[in-house]
Structure 1
């Protein structure tokens, strides 16, 4: 199988309803896909329904089938005429006429199941063929692929693709297609081992897409339909329903299990055994949000969705005293893909009560009666019920949400309430009623409360203390502005920390406290059970060890705000791994405080790139310490004396060689280069340290006693620059061609790098837009106030995303 990063995109019938929809889909493919991607399509509009009408009328020998069939062919003919020109149009007109004749011949003979399936398959084949031609007409190279060439499945009501037989067929086909071309693939159809056409049943096209992604080892699947994704309730019934930007695979599976139509359990099954991520988007409003179905979303416990089915039916099975019979029946129903939406065991009368949608009720009743006949158990079908459910991680264990659910039902004649074994849903079954008022009331009660955002601070030094003061002063304003509750849940320093999910007073933790040592495995386990809607870790340390835990933090669904430079400047492989983990688990990683303290450097680079600009070069003075030193170094005072003064005033690291070595500047340059889109490695930087070899490996105290050994070299550098009327500065530079260098440079007095205030940083950004005249960002690049402010700014940005 090819190792290229394929993506699968699936477009449903509503996304291909008419010619304008096809053109919109073509635009989406141009913008959101790459050559080599696989495009799965359903039959256009109501084509499948019209084919079913034709088959039903023909089976009854009703001559009206001809008029319905003619109308369907005219619809397909008009689509071709509106969308294609020249030879492409003629080719598809000819193919459509051949299909019309073939279907007419089949309709004139007996219609067994395989013939019916063959006729139904034309809907997807027409869509795929037309879309492929349309893409080629718009200079997007494409091939058409009939999924029956690789999908092998047994005949049945809900066939499952045979992976062992299908995967090598697909691999062989993909190997013959150019990677420069997109492949438009039919959904919904397969063949059995004898070559008969098989349809994949309800939601067969969605299932085709995720199964195709699993077989092709695609990294992602996007399902495009007429809705933007999964909402907190059906937006057609609850006006205040909110689009969920992420949902866990377990929650999505539970939602589909209890009958929600947005996703079917069969479509999710391939996700459990493959690496793919699933995204749901609207083809009508592609920019207005989406839902990502992630392998795990470790947010807080509680309800996220209110779901309802207006009409369900019950099947009562009265069994003997042997309790195992009820479990055996449930296992049997799951094996034949007839798992109930919910069930209740009434031990007082030894009755198992099963709940089904109207669609599956008849099949389920027949299956249960057949199974029960072997034991002579009594089976009874009961109609006229409704279902109301809450879905969310651990919702049945969430006291407040469970209480609100029972409270909403207290005045109604509830038949039973059942908690799922997974604890991810609470289901109530009640005699059929009008659910909309109850839905709206429950949704309002559950989701009108402000989101609870937990914060855990790592780093209780100067900057951490400054941030705690800033947070205490601004928390109330932020909570009101963004309709959130911000709860300080943990604070950690070098000696350990304290965690309290009920909340810590930021003013109190400024005072000394008795910390508990950090055992990371225990802390991560406790964090995974946090009670908040979202959890944010704030790393204001200079700990490389702590940065090693970033991937695990991301896997817990925790957001991260970082002033710690180590992860952003680590080896590219680790940096990309951290980024990927946050993407995979729906977390945000904000690190604007890592470079320039409070200066908007990374945000400016991101803004330019998002708008379509290309960064060509970044240069500047990135160290506040070195900026201070060289602003004052004019030869009147030896360099070593200036360094001691800066050290005494706390302007340097405890060991000044951290600043003089240029390693801190190198980390910042790596972060900016990667923000600009270039995966620069530390080994690619030509770094000129100001610390001679003889002073590099000695203790810090000894270094400070021998620091005068720097003076001769520094005096020579200054004298050479002054002879040219210049000054010296410690500068970092990265260019698009890969050249990266850090060291001393000389500048004329009028240069932007020459005239700074002590401790200022300056960044010059050259791009396609800022080419002759670079974008210059200048200001304080160090200090507890500005760095804490940058952390707070990232927290504000995150609150805007989460509210």
Structure 2
């Protein structure tokens, strides 16, 4: 519709309850919105309830109606006086007085639905007008916009907005507005310019609908809660914030009557490109729920939700009618009027169907059913019964989680159960009960379902030197994880170059070390088998040096697997693939940890992340990144041939199986690329100048042939060594990156006192410069290679994942 890129921000009544709340919203708008964003507002505080009370008193002929109107006016006037000064204050109070006179006049007439709606609309009009004035006073240009000028619909239980016409009108409204626009939520107009309300909680719907009309990429709904929790935090104190939900999961939660999300709110989201974020205006920086446009992936329930007051409507068809035909016709009719039931119990043997509704909707549903009864040719009986409640589990795969289903049935069966419905989309199980006090049941369900240890399956790729070291460490350390985190680890797969073993019942790490009987596998079949895992989460550990394995990283993410890697190929791949891997893990809400790719067990990436997250910016990284080359140049004194040291290092397992991986500098080059990307710079391997110690001729040999011709290295190294020695310097293999000077890897002459010159054998050293560490760099030094420290880095990443899973 609009070439201008906009976002939508919606503030509910609790976010605008008093002057302090308005000032808080002003700060949020100044920090989190752009100059052309649209801001949707509800009526401040309890204004809508006050106006509803006013209407009821007026209908009853109660003289207290005038007192209610005066009190409402005084509340609004108090907000204006506390927030605005001088001329702006006078203007808004004058406009308020005009509105109060209008309301008073309407109250003296016969109040039809449109007149009542016109009175109710004032709550949103006052909020929009006041917030726009407050923004202008703070020198943030803004206009208020009455949504009745563009949102077009007709009066109904759940009004359906004409999006085509509304979009055209909105385009015209926005043409002359250049700043932020504060839009009234909850209200629309019909073709005769009469006021229509969009239903309770209609402001959230207004916001996502507005986003669809202007093709906004993001809608943020600000309220008094940070988002969706695993249960109602007011009832279940240890309920946890759900930071991410799929759109389907959110829609199912809304359909089941969630107090945070409403079914109509998400309808425009499905049909547009927008993402939805739920945040708390009281604590804007303390978490949020992101609703993502992706397929739901999961192994069970994430949320326990409930309805305290559920109404059931029994519809009985005549015995002579076609039950299936009558049922289909009824469900279609209700859906067309936006009155689909929350839950349904079919009883074809009795020619009956039982429909569940919230108290807010049931009267509209009954009216629609009575109309249906009058129109149908067959006899229909309708009976309304109250005194019920509902408890439901929501989450991808919940209906297939046998353990959770069993626990749910066990706990609800202790109450007066009416019926259970399983969601056709496998996203929910709901139980209708005779009305009870729900808090004890909700707490019990939450504890049983979400406080049990999470089962984590682990699959290892790479049963070589480091892999064997990690298996030994895992066998020693795995018992410590349950002590520290609420998880259970299960090693269920081990794969090496000759094949592997997969057993979801669990493998003994020590037995795998002693008696490994691998079976060959095909990747596509293995991925399909892994996707059938029974665990809450599955973690892949890649300790190979295989580029081929790294090509499967995006598929790991798409299957919902998490990844820990010491394999450098993906981190140092071309940007297109590297970014695809990163995006795949992000899109599928999976974690990829790769701290072992650089520095083995040294906290290099974690330290750089800490700097970045705290607001600093890494500007340069340098050091000696190869434990092998560190050892070689610390040992080399010109007396013993360099080739002899290489062979000695190879025999001691200090080099890669092919020593040229170390000697060529490619391993160091990959590490430098990984760190530069970690610092936020877009680079390719080809951007790093590389000085290889190995000639092209030596690179052409097979490994055993290379070792026979290794002495060809000696002359060059001795010449460089002597040149350095003559200048009183030492020879070292150094990696350097600077955002100004670029990146290079190769031999350097250093002062003997230089920090890079005096390391213990096999040590790495990393020097990190940033804005904060400009003149005195952050230096990290220690063993940067070896079976034990690398295995320890893998284990540390696994423990970090367990912490994330246990939250």
TM-score, normalised with respect to structure 1: 0.91
The corresponding residue for 1:383 is 386
Contact in 1 for aligned 2:157/2:337 (Cα 8 Å): no
Q: Tell me the secondary structure at the aligned position of residue 348 of structure 1.
A: helix
Find the aligned partners of 2:792 and 2:649 in 1 and give their Cα distance: 23
Q: Tell me the secondary structure at the aligned position of residue 469 of structure 1.
A: helix
The corresponding residue for 1:547 is 550
Q: 1:69 to 1:783 in 2, by over 3 A?
A: same
Q: 1:795 to 1:25 in 2, by over 3 A?
A: farther
The corresponding residue for 2:355 is 354
Contact in 1 for aligned 2:501/2:519 (Cα 8 Å): yes
Deviation per residue, 1:494-553 (Å, 9 max, x gap): 333333333222223224444444444444444444332233222222233333333333
**Higher deviation after alignment, 117-126 or 104-113:** 104-113
Q: Tell me the secondary structure at the aligned position of residue 799 of structure 1.
A: helix
Find the aligned partners of 1:669 and 1:3 in 2 and give their Cα distance: 41
The offset of 1:267, in angstroms, is: 1.5
Kindly indicate whether residue 573 of structure 2 is the aligned counterpart of residue 575 of structure 1.
no
Q: Tell me the secondary structure at the aligned position of residue 291 of structure 1.
A: strand
The offset of 1:300, in angstroms, is: 4.7
Find the aligned partners of 1:755 and 1:676 in 2 and give their Cα distance: 27
Find the aligned partners of 2:173 and 2:540 in 1 and give their Cα distance: 47
The corresponding residue for 2:323 is 323
Q: 1:71 to 1:348 in 2, by over 3 A?
A: same
Find the aligned partners of 1:687 and 1:138 in 2 and give their Cα distance: 55
Contact in 1 for aligned 2:249/2:296 (Cα 8 Å): no
Q: 1:349 to 1:461 in 2, by over 3 A?
A: same
Contact in 2 for aligned 1:617/1:766 (Cα 8 Å): yes
Find the aligned partners of 1:212 and 1:556 in 2 and give their Cα distance: 35
Contact in 2 for aligned 1:190/1:198 (Cα 8 Å): yes
Find the aligned partners of 1:174 and 1:721 in 2 and give their Cα distance: 71
Find the aligned partners of 2:510 and 2:775 in 1 and give their Cα distance: 49
Q: Tell me the secondary structure at the aligned position of residue 560 of structure 1.
A: strand
The offset of 1:287, in angstroms, is: 4.2
Kindly indicate whether residue 747 of structure 2 is the aligned counterpart of residue 744 of structure 1.
yes
The corresponding residue for 2:304 is 306
Q: Tell me the secondary structure at the aligned position of residue 408 of structure 2.
A: helix
The offset of 1:565, in angstroms, is: 2.2
Q: 1:111 to 1:381 in 2, by over 3 A?
A: closer
The corresponding residue for 1:438 is 441
Find the aligned partners of 1:353 and 1:147 in 2 and give their Cα distance: 38
The corresponding residue for 1:498 is 501
Contact in 2 for aligned 1:298/1:556 (Cα 8 Å): no
The offset of 1:600, in angstroms, is: 0.8
Q: 1:526 to 1:211 in 2, by over 3 A?
A: farther
Find the aligned partners of 2:578 and 2:35 in 1 and give their Cα distance: 27
**Higher deviation after alignment, 354-363 or 70-79:** 70-79
The corresponding residue for 1:586 is 589
Q: Tell me the secondary structure at the aligned position of residue 801 of structure 2.
A: helix
Deviation per residue, 1:669-710 (Å, 9 max, x gap): 222222222223334333333333444455444444444333
The corresponding residue for 1:208 is 206
Find the aligned partners of 1:692 and 1:3 in 2 and give their Cα distance: 57
Deviation per residue, 1:157-195 (Å, 9 max, x gap): 3234444445566678778776xx655443333445665
**Higher deviation after alignment, 460-469 or 392-401:** 392-401
Deviation per residue, 1:42-99 (Å, 9 max, x gap): 2221222333344555567766545433433333332233233466555655654565
**Higher deviation after alignment, 552-561 or 601-610:** 552-561
Q: 1:80 to 1:534 in 2, by over 3 A?
A: farther
TM-score, normalised with respect to structure 2: 0.90
645, 657, 681: which is aligned to 2:660?
A: 657
The offset of 1:752, in angstroms, is: 0.7
Structure 2: which 5+ runs fail to align? none
**Higher deviation after alignment, 189-198 or 253-262:** 189-198
Find the aligned partners of 2:157 and 2:71 in 1 and give their Cα distance: 29
Find the aligned partners of 2:118 and 2:694 in 1 and give their Cα distance: 78
Find the aligned partners of 1:724 and 1:87 in 2 and give their Cα distance: 79
The corresponding residue for 1:48 is 48
The corresponding residue for 1:228 is 226
Q: 1:768 to 1:162 in 2, by over 3 A?
A: same
Contact in 2 for aligned 1:300/1:531 (Cα 8 Å): no
The offset of 1:791, in angstroms, is: 1.3
Contact in 2 for aligned 1:298/1:558 (Cα 8 Å): no
Deviation per residue, 1:368-416 (Å, 9 max, x gap): 2322341222222222222232333333333332223332243444222
**Higher deviation after alignment, 360-369 or 126-135:** 126-135
Deviation per residue, 1:588-626 (Å, 9 max, x gap): 222211211111111111112222222222111112222
The offset of 1:717, in angstroms, is: 2.6
Find the aligned partners of 2:693 and 2:2 in 1 and give their Cα distance: 49
Find the aligned partners of 1:683 and 1:69 in 2 and give their Cα distance: 74
**Higher deviation after alignment, 44-53 or 149-158:** 149-158
Q: Tell me the secondary structure at the aligned position of residue 356 of structure 1.
A: strand
The equivalences for 1:236-255 within 5 A come to: 236-255=234-253
Kindly indicate whether residue 783 of structure 2 is the aligned counterpart of residue 780 of structure 1.
yes
Find the aligned partners of 2:465 and 2:95 in 1 and give their Cα distance: 74
The corresponding residue for 2:426 is 423
The offset of 1:777, in angstroms, is: 0.5
The corresponding residue for 1:84 is 84
The corresponding residue for 2:694 is 691
Kindly indicate whether residue 459 of structure 2 is the aligned counterpart of residue 465 of structure 1.
no
RMSD of the alignment, in Å?
A: 3.2
Deviation per residue, 1:238-260 (Å, 9 max, x gap): 33433333333333222222222
Contact in 2 for aligned 1:620/1:753 (Cα 8 Å): yes
**Higher deviation after alignment, 54-63 or 772-781:** 54-63
Contact in 2 for aligned 1:299/1:533 (Cα 8 Å): no
**Higher deviation after alignment, 399-408 or 767-776:** 399-408
Find the aligned partners of 1:176 and 1:706 in 2 and give their Cα distance: 78
Q: 1:502 to 1:671 in 2, by over 3 A?
A: same
Contact in 2 for aligned 1:48/1:120 (Cα 8 Å): yes
The alignment covers a number of residue pairs equal to 801
The corresponding residue for 1:640 is 643
Contact in 2 for aligned 1:298/1:557 (Cα 8 Å): no
The offset of 1:196, in angstroms, is: 5.0
The corresponding residue for 2:796 is 793
The offset of 1:350, in angstroms, is: 2.0
The equivalences for 1:700-719 within 5 A come to: 700-719=703-722
The offset of 1:105, in angstroms, is: 6.3
The corresponding residue for 1:19 is 19
Q: 1:667 to 1:164 in 2, by over 3 A?
A: farther
Deviation per residue, 1:694-740 (Å, 9 max, x gap): 44455444444444333333333323322221112222222233622
Deviation per residue, 1:726-775 (Å, 9 max, x gap): 11222222223362222222211111111112221111111222121111
Find the aligned partners of 1:635 and 1:282 in 2 and give their Cα distance: 67
The corresponding residue for 2:333 is 332
Q: 1:2 to 1:716 in 2, by over 3 A?
A: farther
Deviation per residue, 1:94-149 (Å, 9 max, x gap): 65456556656666666555555454444334333433444455565655555456
Find the aligned partners of 1:172 and 1:658 in 2 and give their Cα distance: 65
